[in-house]
Structures are given as structure tokens and as C-alpha cells.
A and B are shown apart, each in its own frame.
Chain A
């Protein structure tokens, strides 16, 4: 059973791998922007106890965090059509990622908001800043700055977790890998290349988010 490595049959499908990687990145980008946006809304409702949204977000967070992403994806893709909501596998994948990341970032950002001392709010109010200005400069930015590393990690977890979307025929990177190895049976070669691609993507995302954090979040939060 001497196994001869041969990467050529994998590289025949380079285009598929690259487009898969591109789709994974796109899914992650859309999921991250909308998911963190949702997380900010959720975190404010939770941290400021805005009724009834705080309890709605509380239940949402617990349900999503304590069940597997795969099941969430199945219910969106196979379950929602029963209610008359039909979507393509891409829309389902994006929605699942937004909902998933939204729950985690609600909790992460809430912790950041609650860590901002109350005195700062009072000080800001005495400076005659508008409510929106207070929110933006005194609440949100310092909170995001505190939890930016945790958010970055969570985005990478979601990126790696998006592999599951291949199960509903979303043609992202893991789909490409499984498609290729189902054709040529080169599982090792395919997975080595795929793992390397995921790794490079994780490093890229970390770098990019660190830059964004430095530039727009941490830097000005002072």
C-alpha cells in the first residue's frame, strides 16, 4: 500500500479551489459586517435593558450559542421554505452566519459596554454632547476597542465554521475540496492544500481586522 503523493490532480482544479476560497471570504465578510452590526444592536439592548428587546436578544443568544451551526443552517435552508420563505443556498448560508455571529458578538460587545465606567457617561453628558455623539464616542468605540481581539477571533471561528455550508451545496472552499476529492480520490493532497488555504485566509483576516481595529476603533478611542 505504498501511497504515491500526486498534487497534480488537485491543481487541475485550482480555479475551483480559488473560487471556493473567494466565496468563503465573501461569506465571511458579509457575515462579519452584518453579524457585528446585529451584535451591536443586541449588545445595547442587553446592556441598557431596553424592554422587551433585552429578553428577546437574551433568548436568541442562548438558543444560538448552545446549538450547532449545522442545525441552524438546516433549519434555515430546509425549514423556512415550509413557512413560505425560500432562499438560495447562498442566502441561507449568509443568513445562518449573520444569525450565528450576531449571537456571539452580542455577548462579546455587551461585556465591552458594561466594562465602560458609568462616570464616563455622566462626564460626557455634562459636556453637552448629543445622545448620538455620546453613544458613538463614549459607549460604542471604547466598548469595541476593548473586545476587538475577541471579535476578531470569533470572525475567524465563523470563517472556519462556514465549511459546514458545503452540506447544503454552497460552493465554498470545503465544497470545492470535497468535490475534487470525490472525483480523483486524492483526499490527502486536497486536504493539505485546503488546510493551507484556510490558514492563509485566517492570517489575512486577523491582519486585516487588526489594521481596521488600529485605525478606526482602538486608535481613536484613546
Chain B
């Protein structure tokens, strides 16, 4: 589904964080938001997820305005937030549990355990899993939400470099299967290039989309990523340039 953020205003304190923030995400597109720390990247997702409420402006999904928590979005925070008292299967079926469709969710989840690299861990406790596996479980929980748009808030931010790379490879291989609109917030330039169709750089105060880059369509491999030096350079400059301003 197509997402349109139109003229959003928001503030935590006196100084406005957003004063007319606008951007679009096309249906099925994978868009990343890059930007320096504290520029409001996560706030964008929190506004969309309904955790925060904007002062003004509108958010539209396929042209229809949304207010508060919306079933169009599945939000995935940086922390995996698996419930330690529930098994992995129970954890990933949280959405079904909340809406009385746990049985159906479990049947669907069991089919997907292999794809998410979790086969055999249905009845394990979250503390039995490695960081990467926990994150994949959180991903599966998000994917089972029946939402059309996934909001990913630095989903691999808490992982070590190696697991992080593995997770990125895995997500690239999963993109086709997910087939959903994704909005990713990250501070990792390589991650943004590797995963996205389009990259938005957010910055300034009040923050706005300062630049936008389309990533060429290509078979995404590590070698391909290493050849994207120029794009990497431009993104880096763009973020750095914004960082020089008070943000």
C-alpha cells in the first residue's frame, strides 16, 4: 500500500522537531530514512505507529487518512521485546493472540519458522536464542501482523557486526517473500544502501527530508554493495553536512 506523510508537525518541547515534514513511500517499496542521531528518525515511525500524535498534518494510506494506532502498520522496535515467559511460537503469534486468532496464526507461523531460520525452536524460550535469532523471531512476529506496511526501527541496531551482516543478507533474500511496503530507520549507511530502493536523509531542526537517493536496481550482494562507493560518499556528505547545523 502507498504511504503519504503530508506536512506533519510535531514537538517534544518548545522547539518544533518537525514543521511540515512530507514524504511518500510507494506500494511495495523499501525506503530507508538515514540521519544523524537525534534528528527525529525514530519519531517518524512512532508517529506513524500511533505511539505519538502529531500536532498537525496528515498521514495517508492509499489516500485514506489514518489516526492513532492503525492496523495498516506493523511496528518493529530496535529491542526485540520478546516476552521471556512465552515460548518462541507463542511470542511470534502475539498479534493473533490479541485478536482471538491464535490457532490460525500458529499454523501460519509453523510454516514460516524454517524461512526465518528458527526451525526446531518453536517451544524454546527466548533466552535460549542468540541475538540474531531473537531478532528474526521479532521479525516473524511483525510479519504475522497482517499489516501492509512494516515500520522497522533499527531492527539490527543491537546486534554485533557479524550477526548484523547475516541479518541484512537474510532480509535481502526475504524481501521478495515479504512483498510488503517497508520503511526502515537506520544510522548505518551500508545497511540503507544494501536494503533499500530509495533512501531519504533526514536532518536539521526543524527536521526535514534534505536529500533523496534512488538506489539502482541490481542483484544485491556484498560485492555489489562494496562497489557503491560513490553513493556511500554522497550519503555520508549529506548526513555530515546536516550534522554541522544545530540538530
A binds B: no
* B binding-site residues for A, Cβ under 8 Å: none
The chain A residues found within 8 Å of chain B, CB to CB, are: none
